[in-house]
Amino acid sequence: MGSYKYCLCFTRKFRWSEAAPPPDVVAAFAAYANGGDHMGPEQLRRFLAKAQGESGATLADAERIIGQVRQLRHRHHLLGRPLLALDDFHHFLFSDELNPPIQSQVHQDMTAPLSHYYIYTGHNSYLTGNQLSSDCSDVPIIKALQMGVRVIELDVWPNSAKDNVDVLHGRTLTSPVELTKCLRSIRDYAFCASPYPLVITLEDHLTPDLQAKVAEMATQTFGDMLYYPETDSLKEFPSPDSLKNKIIISTKPPQEYLKSKNSKENDSQKEKDASDEETWGKEVEVQKSELEADDKNDQGQDEEDSDDDDDQSLQQISAPEYKRLITIHAGKPKGGLRDAVMVDPDKVRRLSLSEQQFAKAAASHGTDVVRFTQQNLLRIYPKGTRFTSSNYKPLVGWMHGAQMVAFNMQGYGRSLWLMHGFFRANGGCGYIKKPDFLLKAGPDGQLFDPKKSFPVKTTLKVKVYMGDGWRMDFKQTHFDAYSPPDFYTKVGIAGVPADTVMKKTRTIEDDWTPVWDEEFSFPLTVPELAVLRIEVCEYDISEKDDFGGQTCLPASELRSGIRAVPLCDRKGMKFKSVRLLMRFEFV
């Protein structure tokens, strides 16, 4: 029972009780327990195979689940037959450890070229906060690696004495961190969450002697972990499987670098950060002002794309030791956008485009971008005016096959939640195989056109039964000082424009364990790129609704049947107890 003060003089008491199993759970138990009071291993196995779609479930699997549930709920009464009562069965279904919504193993083909995969990519990975004045550190790099990020970006500059190398966001007030410290942390944590290759993209502002020093640092720090390409130019990228537990370097070849200019490039756009709190369902909109900007004067680029190839007098001499380490050759757009995405049959490369440049390329040369990304790597990075480390909407990049949609991982917001959710696919290994329609032309030679509408392939039915865990993870008065919370759930799809939608349940008043029991249907035209978005809010009549948890899940990986869905906080960290009980079905 909880007590809440009301009008200073009075106390309101609310009785708390654990919610009963939903009718669907009761019906499933009755059906597979043959009307009895308990369910045995064989009956549970049949439930897993038929109702949950786990055709490979064995009797041993069912016995293991029953043992784990009994261990958790009946520690002092483990003798006797291994059976589940209705409450035990409900506990099993509501456990995200025993009954998660997606599988946790790598299950995709990992032997294709790197260009065939979406890769979990960070931007300015060393920053602890905003882009202008925050500290540079190895801590956000470690956190990103622990989350499964597979591309770490480092901006390398000469230190104040010009005799060593620092990592910092150049020409800002960010405080530097030594490159050696970052490299050691990368070595120690590179494969803590995934065995698949880690890419280090270097934004290089170094003289040849310091480039040679970087080569020495990398060689000594990484040792056998460092991958050396067999040739200067590759006709096809190696596969993630062939590069397991390897660190690979991506940057421009040294001869393409020029001495840094003293003046800071001006950003004529003067845009404000796009709000990450926009209404869901607008993820794929492209700003008209960005599309109308002049291709030749695109501002707000990363420093790696800000040099001037026309001034040949500033050309540097190549550092051979440094050049030998570069596996993925990077480059900036030269000429118009159509020229930038031209395919070279003799070599593959990585192209970097700012989010504005990419928006224009997608609008005017969409199928050319798709063709380019079938063999080459495309990296998209946030515009220079995202000073607060906010992020853009990633769906347009994924729709065009862009492998490296680079995000500020130190921030948070709905775009980053979507990124986290998308890369939960394929066991969270940081590499996701792109859909076949983005990897090859159709039977008539046509390429996938993201602008076209497609027929519905499947419909995802989502039922939101109930939620629990807030009373354990939050203080009694966190949501409301005078009564228990009034929760509702938003459920929707982020995907191609035709699939993107948001819906919500009714609000359940004064209940820490809300029961909604509502079902929603989502027709999907491109289910391969659809992400299920879930957010729980607490209704507040006088102020902005309070945040109660969120998660995003790749629709193509959802396990059918009744599942427990754990929720995360604003920064994407999983709550200890908060979860929803939901059912997923594809029809």
Q: Name the residues annotated as catalytic.
A: 123, 169
Spell out the alpha helix ranges (H) of 51-100.
59-73, 86-93
Query: What number of other Cβ atoms are within 10 A of residue 379's Cβ?
Result: 27
145 and 199 Cβ atoms separated by less than 8 Å = no
Cα angle value 105/109/111 (rounded, 5°):
125
H helix intervals, 324-354: 337-340
Distances (CA, A) of 521 to 287, 449, 506, 583: 30, 26, 16, 12
Please state the separation of Cα 496 from the chain's center in Å. Answer: 17
- Alpha carbon distance 279, 281 (integer Å): 6
3-state DSSP helix/strand/coil % of the chain, to nearest 5: 25, 25, 50
- List the one residue out of 505, 377, 312, 390 whose CA is nearest residue 127: 390
- Look at the chain and count its residues: 587
Q: Indicate the DSSP class of residue 581.
A: E
Q: Which helix (H) or strand (E) holds 155?
A: strand 151-158
Q: Name the H helices within 176-280.
A: 179-189, 208-222
Look up residue 362 and give its two tokens. Answer: 């997608």
Only one residue has tokens 């050319």, namely 368
Residue 187: left (phi > 0), alpha (psi -120 to 50), or beta?
A: alpha
Place of tokens 């519905």: 456
- Rounded-to-10 torsion of CA 102, 106, 109, 113: 110
Tell me the one-letter amino acid at 397. Answer: G
